[in-house]
Structure 1
């Protein structure tokens, strides 16, 4: 009887408890935005959400959507894009949701930052507020760039439109039916955010050793310890004035390019000036990093102290142990999936060691020994037949009759082109299941080489190959330094470069080719072809090697429409909001 009474009591307790929960919802850990005023860590979390959404935090390998590469993964979204399946619904280049989510967090942060007690000392609190607002403005400009790159385009009226400009936080009562601003208005907003970031941020973060080194803005009221607390080395890898200036240079290059120039007032001269300022602050062409084209290797990455950068890197992610890149891209013999396969198109773009393109009569290119005496970057970035790779220096046989699965089209993880990726991968990673290892990696968000090439492109257009504007270096000087670093034309004075330096059109082709080589597999080729309005339907080619005979083979056609120089506004957004005008050609 007692057992039955006890059971009824427990059930009754649970029943009434359940009723109480049903009518009185449990407390949830959801904080009101105003809570941030007294909780600086919560406020800073809004800012950090912007960092977490930076697209360059991981590599996209969207070269697969260009003539640079294909993939052996038939489900690859960029493969589908390149072969006729790119739509406003299926868009792997979509930045609308990610970037606007980031901007919403940043706008929330900017709306309350002045009210937050960042430190007990009001003077230190002001410095914290300055720094983090500067970071937010720089990040908001970065996300505007990604929105424009992915979604700006020509409407049915012929106007180049940008995206809606949102500068304040939205809530449930906001009107979300925004119109797209003109491209030029978006660029002006981006430039304005960069200017605000420049005014608030240091050139770089680092500890100072004396009160006399405190910047004039804070001098007299702040000592070195308080300054280091806010702007010291601990904050390396966050947004700086230098990084903000590089973002401006990147955006200006896009705006001055053929695809956008009719909707933009940004000139080639301005684009050159913005990139030139970044380069000048780094010592000009003489400041080029000798190891800049292999910045991902062991000797560079493992030697970095916390937050520090090699000379090549302007901005990067933090270091971390991993072997996922190698798992995806090592050849099968090295226990990888061989996912990205560089094309013969890209291989052919690498000149000879003497600097001449392989189709030039002076190149001494040998079709029966095609990888001999080539630009050293070829074998640095791409595994060709017979090259060694991996921790054990395994010879990779990519021939059609290869005895290994590394051969052309042997199995689903084999190369489709006769080549495998080498760039960005740590060759000291071991994927053997019995003794696998990981190694340190980081992702480069902005490299100095990007800035060098941006300047060379814009300076050539503005002032010609040897013109300097207000600087002490020209497009010719930059390209000479880059090629010399790579080991091209070093034994003969680079006569091909000397030949083209007197011709703006030929120099343009060389600069674009150097950009293709130096930045391959880092997410540039897809966007470059479109902003230049070049042929985006060049078929991907490979090489079939058998009995020392090299036969070029077709691998994959590209099926783009002419309107696809510009990406779409997401279909779901156009469907929801009547004021959003779609780019021409997209449904």
Structure 2
């Protein structure tokens, strides 16, 4: 698959076995051998792989029952309404992922020859860390490839993607590589994550004595100053063992899900639960769920106090801190707050929030009042969504969203107005001011992995493996996790969460509750699109809105979805199938 060589060449990097990659002026030439004496140059190959990690907020929510967008030419809107093809796939990660793995494979092929430091112990430690990062990142990219492109081929086999663990060069004899099975891809990811964990600390932190050096590094150094130089606080936000464990949990949950249940797939729900439990145990168990994790984006004290690469208690991995930033608010504030209102939550999502007493609004005991639908609801609703009559922004302005409200925030009044009667509040800092006369940004970070995601992964897998109250080899159950999450949210506090108690004796009801909790806790964080597909759930629920004028509440249809069942699996890029005869397409895609 000769699809990545141009990418390497374009940035004047070298391919293994090639003395010279390009033919510029003599002084500009780069060679593989230069890596051996220039560790910064060698490290650059790995750093290039960090730069193309898929974004956490990809806004694929626009293609689900959770949201629509007022950007009428948005790729996800077009995809969800009938334009998703193998040649037009905004969710493809094919080229970026294989391009990143080219860098990583080139690095791994040469890392042992690099003189990482003058100090021999530091040199060994640097080599271990850098190779661990490279293996971990390769596993990361394989996960994203498998999620986006794995699926059922025409012959009924569950297939993954081509496994490429060596650098491809102009000397490579066969680029026409077939797809590996899904199972083989999963095993390759686990193998790479094993290698990452063997070479990386759980987290990067300074130590003060040799006794604090993890056992796996004591054969490399016993000097705290050497350990701190390589594995200390200055390496924070690089790939570590905790991140590797988290991606193992993500892979396990994907592989155990209904869409990937197949005779050739050996990952079980119990495996997935065990993988997630490793992160929960490290965190400290059920009661260690961060108390303010549900509002990670708005915990101003935590965010403004970040320094030295530290993480808030909710965060396993994040992107670098952004200072004086107002991008999310510019994109998503209502128009009267000088935003573009891109993300419009649906009535479907609003209806998924239970009452504060914990009962779904459709339950006989919910006390839901359709004439006053926003009263006594799950507190997360008001935290995550701007609705008619709620307040937002620095001035706590009241936002009216009805079509006859007389404001630019009303339904379809302007191109930047909501289409559903709702605006997104999650992800935004209300202390940002977008007024052009005095724009004031704030500190921000974008997550890559949250602890809450890992707790939810365990709950889902443990319920399927052992039932609502089963624990396997652990000390907590799916029920215990969900009770803690709902308690943190402020749900069911006045009645002992009677609905959760009702569900805990029924595995199927508990599964529905867990899926709904995942929907709420992770809304607008780009999980819903992938979750619906791995669950093989209904993809075509019509996106609905709510028009509120005075005391009148009128629901209406906003946008139809146009998905076929074969779309539970994404396509192999059409251009690649055309080029390589051994690269079979997933069933249904042309």
Partner residue, 2:575: 572
Deviation at 1:254, TM superposition (A): 0.2
Larger CA deviation: 121-130 vs 470-479: 121-130
Counterpart CA distance in 1 for 2:552 and 2:407 is 19
Partner residue, 1:320: 322
Partner residue, 2:52: 53
Counterpart CA distance in 1 for 2:175 and 2:395 is 57
CA contact 1:256–1:268 (8 Å) conserved in 2: yes
Residues 541 and 219 (structure 1 numbering): CA distance in 2 closer, same or farther, change over 3 Å?
same
CA contact 1:53–1:102 (8 Å) conserved in 2: yes
What are the superposed Cα offsets for residues 111-145 of structure 1, whole Å, 9 maximum, x if unpaired?
11111000011111001001111111111111000
Partner residue, 1:309: 311
Deviation at 1:149, TM superposition (A): 0.4
Counterpart CA distance in 2 for 1:185 and 1:463 is 27
Residues 25 and 487 (structure 1 numbering): CA distance in 2 closer, same or farther, change over 3 Å?
closer
1:399 to 402, 407, 417: 402
Larger CA deviation: 543-552 vs 82-91: 543-552
Q: Secondary structure at the match of 2:283?
A: coil
| Runs of 4+ residues over 6 Å off in structure 1 | none
Partner residue, 2:160: 162
Write the mapping of 1:353-502 to structure 2, written as runs, cut at 5 A. 353-502=356-505
Structure 2 residues not aligned, in runs of 5+: 1-22
Residues 280 and 343 (structure 1 numbering): CA distance in 2 closer, same or farther, change over 3 Å?
same
What are the superposed Cα offsets for residues 413-443 of structure 1, whole Å, 9 maximum, x if unpaired?
1000000010001111111010001111111
Deviation at 1:491, TM superposition (A): 1.6
Write the mapping of 1:137-536 to structure 2, written as runs, cut at 5 A. 137-174=135-172, 175-219=174-218, 221-262=221-262, 263-297=264-298, 298-321=300-323, 322-536=325-539
Counterpart CA distance in 2 for 1:362 and 1:30 is 74
Counterpart CA distance in 1 for 2:62 and 2:218 is 52
Counterpart CA distance in 2 for 1:440 and 1:475 is 35
Write the mapping of 1:17-56 to structure 2, written as runs, cut at 5 A. 26-27=25-26, 29-56=28-55
Q: Secondary structure at the match of 2:537?
A: coil
In the alignment, does 2:132 pair up with 1:130? no
The number of equivalent residue pairs is: 563
Counterpart CA distance in 1 for 2:331 and 2:413 is 17
Q: Secondary structure at the match of 1:555?
A: strand
Deviation at 1:198, TM superposition (A): 1.1
Deviation at 1:390, TM superposition (A): 0.7
Counterpart CA distance in 1 for 2:68 and 2:493 is 32
Deviation at 1:53, TM superposition (A): 1.0
What are the superposed Cα offsets for residues 288-329 of structure 1, whole Å, 9 maximum, x if unpaired?
111000011122211222211112111101101211111110
Q: TM-score when scaled to structure 1?
A: 0.95
Counterpart CA distance in 2 for 1:218 and 1:327 is 47
Higher alpha-carbon Rg: 1
Q: Secondary structure at the match of 1:408?
A: coil
Deviation at 1:215, TM superposition (A): 2.9
Counterpart CA distance in 2 for 1:47 and 1:510 is 41
What are the superposed Cα offsets for residues 146-191 of structure 1, whole Å, 9 maximum, x if unpaired?
0000000111000010000000111122222110000000000001
CA contact 2:333–2:341 (8 Å) conserved in 1: yes
Deviation at 1:211, TM superposition (A): 2.6
Counterpart CA distance in 2 for 1:556 and 1:216 is 57
Counterpart CA distance in 2 for 1:585 and 1:482 is 39
Deviation at 1:37, TM superposition (A): 1.0
In the alignment, does 2:568 pair up with 1:584? no
Q: Secondary structure at the match of 1:101?
A: helix
CA contact 1:134–1:199 (8 Å) conserved in 2: yes
CA contact 1:197–1:241 (8 Å) conserved in 2: yes
Counterpart CA distance in 2 for 1:249 and 1:214 is 26
Counterpart CA distance in 2 for 1:151 and 1:30 is 37
Partner residue, 1:19: none
Q: Secondary structure at the match of 1:552?
A: strand
Q: Secondary structure at the match of 2:389?
A: coil
Deviation at 1:30, TM superposition (A): 4.0
Q: Secondary structure at the match of 2:242?
A: helix
CA contact 2:358–2:491 (8 Å) conserved in 1: yes
CA contact 2:121–2:226 (8 Å) conserved in 1: no
Larger CA deviation: 545-554 vs 466-475: 545-554
Residues 222 and 554 (structure 1 numbering): CA distance in 2 closer, same or farther, change over 3 Å?
same
Q: TM-score when scaled to structure 2?
A: 0.94
Larger CA deviation: 176-185 vs 220-229: 220-229
Counterpart CA distance in 2 for 1:405 and 1:25 is 56
Counterpart CA distance in 2 for 1:558 and 1:218 is 53
Counterpart CA distance in 2 for 1:184 and 1:216 is 32
CA contact 1:152–1:160 (8 Å) conserved in 2: yes
CA contact 1:123–1:222 (8 Å) conserved in 2: no
Q: Secondary structure at the match of 1:446?
A: strand
Counterpart CA distance in 2 for 1:383 and 1:306 is 34
CA contact 2:201–2:214 (8 Å) conserved in 1: no
1:556 to 556, 559, 569: 559
Q: Secondary structure at the match of 1:259?
A: helix
Counterpart CA distance in 2 for 1:185 and 1:250 is 16
Deviation at 1:25, TM superposition (A): 6.2
Partner residue, 2:18: none
Structure 1 residues not aligned, in runs of 5+: 1-23
Partner residue, 1:9: none
Deviation at 1:28, TM superposition (A): 6.2
Deviation at 1:214, TM superposition (A): 2.5
Counterpart CA distance in 2 for 1:143 and 1:522 is 19
Counterpart CA distance in 2 for 1:102 and 1:130 is 20
Counterpart CA distance in 2 for 1:104 and 1:38 is 21
CA contact 2:69–2:342 (8 Å) conserved in 1: yes
What are the superposed Cα offsets for residues 265-310 of structure 1, whole Å, 9 maximum, x if unpaired?
1000000000011101111111011100001112221122221111
Deviation at 1:399, TM superposition (A): 1.1
